[in-house]
Amino acid sequence: MNALFQQVYDFVEERIGLKTLEAKLMKEPIKGGSRWAYVFGSVLLFIFIMQAITGMLLMFYYIPSADHAYASTQFIIHEVDYGWYILSYHFWGSSAMVVMVFAHMSQVFLWGAYKKPREMVWLVGLALFGLVMAFGFTGYLLPWDQRAYWATTVGVEIMDKTPVIGDFLARFLKGGPTPGQMTLSRFFVIHVMILPGALMGLAGLHLFLFRSAGPAGPFRGTPDELKAKTDFFFPRQVWKDIMAMGVVFLIISTLALIEPVQLLEQATPDPGDYHPEPEWYFLFLFQLLRWKVFSGEFGQFLGAIAIPGLFMLLLVALPFIDRNPERNIFKRPIALLCWAVVMIGITVLTVSAILNREFLD
């Protein structure tokens, strides 16, 4: 058996170069040593892989039809062995991915890791952030209950306010005057085919650019001290990554066990007593649009499109505006203040939206 395995290994090694590939992946030097702070990228990859696995399992039973989507989701929850757990894990996994992306982007910003020579890493990371948010938006409709239907309706209405292309995007996604079969079909295709392909391509590019630029630190000590502390990616960093993945898996599984997915009534154009709102990671924007200053057509455009759009453009331009090589966040008080204001603002708006929901209920 060992001889057969060796022959197969030698065959593949001769044609692919496994030893060279292993050396590139596992023998990457990490200046300053392995760190728990470096686990975010690996954890994000792990969450995506688990989302892909649970998503494929759900697709064996899910029917992307306005007549059957709700019933097939109920079948998954109540009839398929452990279907409720798989669906709940997939649901909570999407939230975990959003949280981890926010945490990772905050880390990169605070460390100044977007600066030269890592501008391309930052830009591709922003594109990946957009894909993660699109995953959450498109997947939320698929159960086809009232919550999913009206969250999508609110999201599409916000998108409709985008100049020039907003009306086209809204009509394309809805496929009709109101969300229906065409909406569900298009969201399904985007969610299970277009976005995964785009994410895998960009994730590969992100990893390549990161490996080319190297870890961003922060590093403390003289060059000789850092050289003395240098580790290889395997085994210490790999062990930290695996431990972090295990913790995230346990957290998501715990949430799936204690708060499994429960559907509302089947989707209908009549909201009834239900108060439409988007998923929690869009609640801050939803709450912002409730302010009087953002009332009216222009106000809605300003709050829903202009401000978020300008903020994203600022993030894109950030590596080219901030040329200061200093990366210590405590020596960059303006950057620290800006990050704190944005995080506090998002938190306050999200909590306000949740409290408002409880009051209405």
Instruction: Determine which helix (DSSP H) or strand (DSSP E) holds 36, and give its type and residue range.
Output: none
Confidence band, pLDDT 50/70/90 cuts, at residue 213: confident
User: Is there a domain that residue 151 lies in?
Assistant: yes
Is pLDDT of 327 > 90? no
Determine the angle formed by the axes of helices 119-139 and 195-213, rounding to 10 degrees: 160
Show the domain range for 54: 34-271
User: Is there a domain that residue 19 lies in?
Assistant: no
Rounded distance between C-alpha atoms, residue 356 and residue 361, angstroms:
9
Number of residues assigned to the chain: 361
Q: Which of 82-86, 198-202, 209-213 has the lowest mean pLDDT?
A: 209-213
Q: What is the pLDDT of residue 217?
A: 64
Q: What is the pLDDT of residue 218?
A: 60
Q: What is the pLDDT of residue 317?
A: 96
For the whole model, what pTM was predicted? 0.89
Is pLDDT of 221 > 70? no
Q: Which of 141, 51, 138 is nearest to 90 (CA)?
A: 51
Q: What is the pLDDT of residue 275?
A: 76
Q: What is the pLDDT of residue 195?
A: 96
State phi, psi for 265 to the nearest 5 degrees. Answer: -65, 160
User: Is there a domain that residue 357 lies in?
Assistant: no
Please report, for the domain that includes residue 209, its CATH number: 1.20.810.10
Query: How many structural domains does the chain have?
Result: 1
Confidence band, pLDDT 50/70/90 cuts, at residue 155: confident
User: Is there a domain that residue 238 lies in?
Assistant: yes
Q: What tens digit of pLDDT does each residue of 239-270 get?
A: 999 999 999 999 999 999 999 999 989 988 88
Q: What tens digit of pLDDT does each residue of 46-83 get?
A: 999 999 999 999 999 999 999 999 999 999 999 999 99
Place of tokens 């299970």: 192
- Average pLDDT score over the chain: 87
User: Is there a domain that residue 84 lies in?
Assistant: yes
Asked whether 135 and 191 are in contact (CB, 8 A), the reply is: yes
User: Is there a domain that residue 253 lies in?
Assistant: yes
User: Is there a domain that residue 6 lies in?
Assistant: no
Rounded distance between C-alpha atoms, residue 201 and residue 206, angstroms:
9
Is pLDDT of 137 > 60? yes
Average pLDDT over residues 340-350: 94
Q: What is the pLDDT of residue 176?
A: 78
Amino acid at 26: M
User: Is there a domain that residue 334 lies in?
Assistant: no
3-state SS, one letter per residue, for 51-95: HHHHHHHHHCCCCCCCCCHHHHHHHHHHCCCCHHHHHHHHHHHHH
Q: Which residues contact 66 (CB under 8 A, 6 or more apart)?
A: 144, 180, 181, 184, 267
Q: Which of 12-21, 186-195, 253-262, 342-351 has the lowest mean pLDDT?
A: 12-21
Q: What is the chain's percent helix, strand, coil content, to nearest 5?
A: 75, 0, 25
Asked whether 329 and 264 are in contact (CB, 8 A), the reply is: no
State phi, psi for 272 to the nearest 5 degrees. Answer: 60, -130
Q: Which of 42-46, 51-55, 155-159, 341-345 has the lowest mean pLDDT?
A: 155-159
Q: Which residues contact 329 (CB under 8 A, 6 or more apart)?
A: 110, 111, 112, 335, 336
Confidence band, pLDDT 50/70/90 cuts, at residue 312: very high
Q: Which of 325, 304, 356, 350 is nearest to 157 (CA)?
A: 304
Q: What is the pLDDT of residue 36?
A: 81
Please name the residue ranges forming H helices in 112-165.
119-139, 146-159
Confidence band, pLDDT 50/70/90 cuts, at residue 120: very high
Is pLDDT of 361 > 70? no
Is pLDDT of 197 > 90? yes
User: For the residues of 199-219, what is the DSSP string, one character each?
Assistant: HHHHHHHHHHHHHHH------
Rounded distance between C-alpha atoms, residue 200 and residue 213, angstroms:
20
Eight-state DSSP code of residue 160: T
Q: What is the pLDDT of residue 290?
A: 85
Q: What is the pLDDT of residue 220?
A: 57
